[in-house]
Structure 1
Amino acid sequence: MSEDIRYPIGGFSGPVQQTPEQRRASIAVLAALPENLRSAVSGLTDAQLDTPYREGGWTVRQLVHHVADSHVNAYVRIRLALTEDWPAIKVYDQKLWANLPDARSLPVEVSLDLLDALHRRWTTLLESLTDPQWERGYVHPENGRQRIAEVVQMYDWHSRHHVAHITELRKRNGW
């Protein structure tokens, strides 16, 4: 684990050329995310869910809703990349999204249920991709061209990163 609680598994190291086996491993991480996140928050009280994972950070509740927001966007972007020629995608301000009333107050089960269905669709789609399709992508206004293979690596990390925020908070607080 990283010493910096903002990055409990370390920062994203950037995309690397992946073998088909590595792609399958990333898909497996995405497939496991809903259950891993559900387990990470299991048994937490509302007060614990409303505890920031670090000083100045989002609450556990906001983290869960953020993961759903982020992964919905990633899923849609990948579908665009598969059906259009290097489409330009729109960015969103994840900090503002995390501070909207639903992200601050809804039960986490709402986003956990969304993630169950979303990740079933997303992983089924990813498992069907051909090698050329993994090379398709989109244009991110801030990060430039991003291939599906790179995006999946990033969301493999993103999934593990946010689950670790919660599990490490639980360890630190003895929950």
Structure 2
Amino acid sequence: MVLKDADLINQYNEAPKKLAEALSGLHDSDLDKKRAEGKWSIREIAHHIIECDLNYFQINRYALADTGAKFIFNEFDPNTWNKTMDHSTRSLQLELQLFNIMREYIAYLCSSLPNALDRVLIHQDGKATVRDAIKHDIQHANHHIEQILETKRIHHL
């Protein structure tokens, strides 16, 4: 099924609410639960979603502002960021607010700029439209939110 642009933007903008719902009712100690040994904790997964979205935010803004221009991605190793940004112990409160405002802002731009979803980003691996990027962002967040829900089921939370 192909989503209409307005539905795609709405789905994109729902991720912060879905993440907040997945985290709802959890105590701070619950955030340290993992699906299995060697997997990230709920807290680490939530930080990862938002850290990636910070990258996606900049990529989407760049494509919206200067369509067709080349954008060079920095290498991003999530395990390095998990460790160096201390995801295993940091609070999620500020990041959840940030996630909400980033998604709201990009959704606003996509709804108000002419042909926003058709604007293009060129990168070292090819090119993508903002529509493609938004679809990727939705999939990424939903994938990791499902991991949080799976962890909650495993631990009966």
TM-score, scaled relative to structure 1: 0.78
The offset of 1:131, in angstroms, is 3.2
Structure 2 residue aligned with 1:113: 97
**Paired amino acid for 2:72:** A
Cα 1:146–1:55 change in 2 (3 A) is: farther
Equivalent residue runs for 1:21-32 within 5 Å: 21=4, 23-32=5-14
The offset of 1:170, in angstroms, is 1.2
Structure 2 residue aligned with 1:165: 147
Deviation string for 1:60-107 (max 9, x for gaps)? 111111111111110101111233313223231122111224322111
Cα 1:36–1:97 change in 2 (3 A) is: same
**Paired amino acid for 2:30:** Q
Structure 1 residue aligned with 2:127: 145
Structure 1 residue aligned with 2:44: 62
TM-score, scaled relative to structure 2: 0.86
Q: CA RMSD in A?
A: 2.1
**How many residues end up aligned between the 2 structures?**
155
Deviation string for 1:8-37 (max 9, x for gaps)? xxxxxxxx9x66x1x322321221111111
Distance 1:159 1:25 in 2: 16
The offset of 1:39, in angstroms, is 1.1
Task: Report if aligned partners of 2:117, 2:129 keep a CA contact under 8 Å in 1.
Answer: no
Unmatched runs of 5 consecutive residues or more in structure 2: none
**Paired amino acid for 1:58:** W
Percent sequence identity over aligned pairs: 22
